[in-house]
Chain A
């Protein structure tokens, strides 16, 4: 199975500042045939299911604010929140879908400093 490792485990950022979360995979998620990275990002708030933010490593899901962006390729990926809002407090997960089984990172808890 592909192992997904996120860093840091927790992060405190001031309102309006940038938040950056990293995700590393144990093997490349870049499929050479179509030059796509098979990685998604989710946001989960307490008592709720995860919510899809980003897929194909950098494509924002419809309705997701443009302060959320994804980048990276191969084995190293980043989720960036350009200007942290109070409603962004949550746990964030990366997930690969390169093969079966799809696996998730352990999560990064984002809080307000």
Chain B
């Protein structure tokens, strides 16, 4: 049973860099896409970025210029860095996992792996507040 435990600084000043890390336990680091999702009263749940075990990444275009997602397979950890934070980045940040599943494609006559799925596993969340 894969579990996620996250940590990072909870209080930042405007223009500082947000840094969060999530550790994976109870299962393999491969076979999943590891994501960061944030939740704020104003914007609800917002997917930020993801990385898989081989280092392939996807980003939300709205945040891509400020976001770096990375992973350390030896430690089974993945991390988020977001630069130049403002009050608008105040939110609860969750790490989350999407398991790669095989999906049937009729026109191809075969199953293919797909990581863009549902978020089956979540970390406990970290409240990040940006305030001068």
Contacts and interface: CB of A to CB of B under 8 A. Distances in A.
Contacts of B103: 34, 36
A95 B44 contact: no
B105 A33 contact: yes
A95 B58 contact: no
B118 A95 contact: yes
B116 A99 contact: yes
Interface size class of B (residues with CB under 8 A): 20 to 34
Contacts of B88: none
A77 interface: no
B132 interface: no
Contact of A33 (B47, B107, B125): B107
Interface in B34-74: 44-47, 58, 60-61
A52 B58 CA distance: 22
Interface of B: 44-47, 58, 60-61, 94, 96, 98, 103-108, 116-120, 122-125
B106 A34 contact: yes
Interface residues of A, number: 23
Interface in A63-113: 93, 95, 97, 99-107
9 contacts: A34-B105, A36-B103, A49-B94, A52-B120, A93-B45, A97-B117, A100-B58, A104-B46, A107-B45
A50 B117 CA distance: 15
B116 A97 contact: yes
Which of A33, A42, A101 is the most central at the interface, judged by chain B CB atoms within 10 Å of its CB? A101
Contacts of A106: 44
Nearest to B122: A49
B104 A102 contact: no
